[in-house]
Chain A
């Protein structure tokens, strides 16, 4: 599983915007990844009248949530604390307000999109659907964007590693056979084409061999 960040002990941060009392909506964000939580928090601040609080996914989560008594909890599906929330919102007497799970249960495509993006939300019963929908939509967009960023980052990292490997192989060929950089690269490319392999694979073989022999 990607990005399983260590549990944070940072204090919860809250939005500086003071919500109007009649319409205030407290949203708690729980996520094992602090980076992803921050991205979601930033997005949710756009929700009108919302106060967004990020709560670290640590062993005292229950007490912190009880103290906050949020209207909506958005939690990443990766968090093992989800089962804890089910107890808190379902059967326990810890919170006085009854809480319905998830979005409108009849809205299956929305639920599928949310779960696919890694989101679960727990919502105080009676909160109007039109207030919840934008929250879930923002969460889906933000989480998907985060996943895409991570994918791109890891692709970029492996591309960089490949390039370094090819540079090293070129250097080895240049000093071993007295080639120019251009000639060394052409030899690598020709070998890769003949063997129907990637240049980086040939480069890795050369570097490994040189490590063993050198």
Chain B
């Protein structure tokens, strides 16, 4: 079977990339073309219109597409979760200084950010904060962080910036901060333009991040791919393979970035500020065989977050239940 699988070059595509590049899909008799997509919208459209057979996808975007809230509507299934957590909120150095948070703890950072956001909104020059797509955990993490200090998304100008452009946007002062997946916060810190203010995991512990999304018609043909993903997830989860994995991800074919920066996220040891000390964050980004099973409870959480962010009316979304298919993974 030949498959075209899309992904956006990020650390949390590791399991899918390793499945193909370390021979696990070939061992299952699959011929896979990995296609790096330039944006989430393009990945979604190509998946929804049948030009991709599957994709590494933001969990909220997969749900939004499945529900017909974003792009061409398509019934999807998500038989595997590719990663949990992995985001970080990074602020420009001037904004971080203006925050003057009581401590580095997320409640203090949230309160300080909310105070500055409200003050700036009152002055008529709201903070410009970047997310990666409207339907993303990144959007919801901004909302929750601001809510810690009684503020909301209404007080800021929330814009979308593609991950590879976040560092430049911060440097040029086009945005005051971003929430993005690994390794882009580390890239900003290393470039000396940003300060990691909060790990995503500290805002929303156990956050459903990326899933493998397939067209629902693939339901009967998922076994070889899911078997390969299981083996790849085990391989990625083994610290003995970490060096090989970061070299693979960092290669020009995928992220095209310094493997040392990718290692920070995978190892959960991140530098918060340029030249600053390294901080341990064990669950900063979690991938591995145990994480592969999608948890249907996450769907209810995602629906609630969409409603809280004003993207849908509050209320039950019964059609959401069909998206996560842990049964397919268990049977593979």
Contacts and interface: CB of A to CB of B under 8 A. Distances in A.
Interface of A: 1, 59-60, 62, 77-88, 90-92, 94, 101-102, 105, 108, 111-112, 115-116, 120
Contact of B49 (A86, A88, A92, A112): A112
Contacts of A108: 49, 72
Interface string B126-161: 000001111000000000000000000000011111
B206 interface: no
Q: Which 5 A-B pairs have the closest CB atoms?
A: A80-B162, A87-B160, A82-B41, A82-B39, A91-B134
Contacts of A112: 49-51
A87 B162 CA distance: 12
Interface residues of B, number: 33
Given A59-B165, A102-B71, A91 B40 contact: no
Contacts of A62: 159
5 contacts: A77-B39, A80-B165, A82-B39, A88-B160, A94-B157
B223 to A, nearest CB: 28
A158 B210 CA distance: 41
A84 B128 CA distance: 13
Contacts of A79: 38-39
Nearest to B46: A115
B67 interface: no
Taking each of A87, A101, A115, which has the highest tally of chain B beta carbons within 10 Å of its own beta carbon? A87
A80 B311 CA distance: 22
A91 B157 CA distance: 11
A103 B156 CA distance: 31
A84 B157 CA distance: 13
Interface in B100-121: none
Nearest to B131: A87
A86 B162 CA distance: 12
Contacts of A85: 41
Contacts of B51: 112, 115-116
A77 B51 CA distance: 13
A94 B157 CA distance: 9
A83 B39 contact: yes
A87 B50 contact: no
A111 B44 CA distance: 13
Contacts of B42: 77-78, 82, 120
B172 interface: yes
